[in-house]
Amino acid sequence: MFCRLTLLVLLISLPAGALVGQSTRSRTPRAAAGATHSVRWEQLPLADAVDRLNEISLSDVLIDRRVDPNQLVTLTLSNATVDEVAAELAAACSLGVARLGHVIYLGPKQTADGLAALVALRRKEIAALPDGIRRAFTERRKIVWPRLTEPRGLVTRLAADHGWRVTESERIPHDLWAAGELPNLPLADQLTLLLVGFDLTYHVQLDKRSIEIVPINWSAIDSTHANTANSQPPRKTSKQARENTKQVFSLRIEGQPVGKVLEQLAQRLGWQIVVDELELKRAGRSLDARVSFTVENADEDELLAALLTPAGLSAARDGQQVRIKPQQ
């Protein structure tokens, strides 16, 4: 699936200081931390799904600028936390997910996997600055910008708002962003989030009182991230989590190709799909067949049966491998 991602939206010519202000996004009262939610999204544009998640959560969900916000998402979850919804949403779009304070980032997997290490590296550098200088980068402010904002101007004005100038800003390609905002984060983190969608970051040039825009050295970031990960207790994989917790699913499909639905479920559940096209052809079956069905609180096998049976297909499972074959 082609993903073009659009993280943050930019501004065109705001006066100095205009980056800080009240959000123009109307929101319903947000849920308490730890609250669970149920979602049923069918062919919903990713941007709309993110807006709905923003409305109910204590977090701000940001989409990387390289992701297509118009790609359609089908997702059904019950009693899921915001982080669980975000993780499933990312999986449905073949994206990575990372959390930075109250910000949930959705973007390319390499970027999402390295974001925490990149943020930690910039924070370490900022912590080594003299007190008076460091304060500018650790002060927390909320920033908002209107649609058609140009990112190069946004970064330049944001830095100027804190008394710094930007060098090598031409490395930020021309782009136009939709209206957006960043919550109360330190300038150091806001710059990271604004630049990461271009595979760019920054270095503080203390002697010139400037912020230099530089490419991200992902190999160095990956190494730092690996060293950090090795010092932490191992986390359970999604496969291990599924083995320890029985999952049930509620899903309604109307007139969708079997293959398309199967692909989305495989991305979400970690299935490895194996199809013998010749065997299906001989039996007069096809993954292009359209099906309609509804399941409530079904396990994975029941979900597969509901999807495949109307198309005259069946599945043989061996762990996470799912072999699709004609019904006997």
Whether the pLDDT of residue 241 is over 70: the answer is: no
Using the 8-state DSSP alphabet, how is residue 71 labeled? Answer: -
Parallel, antiparallel or unpaired: strands 249-257 and 290-298: antiparallel
Distance separating alpha carbons of residues 133 and 111, to the nearest angstrom: 28
- Which of the four pLDDT bands, split at 50, 70 and 90, describes residue 270? confident
Higher pLDDT, 101 or 63: 63
Find tokens 């205009």 and name the residue: 18
The set of residues, in sequence order, having a beta carbon less than 8 Å from that of 105 and lying 6+ positions away, is: 7, 62, 64, 97, 98, 99, 111, 112, 115, 193
The set of residues, in sequence order, having a beta carbon less than 8 Å from that of 304 and lying 6+ positions away, is: 315, 317, 322
Amino acid at 292: S
Amino acid at 120: A
Q: What is the pLDDT of residues 121-138, one digit of tens each?
A: 999 999 999 988 898 899
- Which of the four pLDDT bands, split at 50, 70 and 90, describes residue 157? very high
Distance separating alpha carbons of residues 98 and 116, to the nearest angstrom: 7
Lowest-confidence region among 39-53, 186-200, 254-268, 279-293: 254-268
Q: What is the pLDDT of residues 70-107, one digit of tens each?
A: 999 999 998 888 889 999 999 999 999 999 888 999 99
pLDDT, averaged across the chain = 80
CA dihedral 319→276→299→303, nearest 10 degrees, is 170
Q: Could you tell me the pTM of the whole model?
A: 0.61
Compute the average pLDDT of residues 278-293: 90
72 close to 94: Cβ distance less than 8 angstroms:
no
Distance separating alpha carbons of residues 106 and 113, to the nearest angstrom: 11
Query: What are the structural domains of the chain?
Result: 37-225 (3.55.50.30), 239-326 (3.55.50.30)
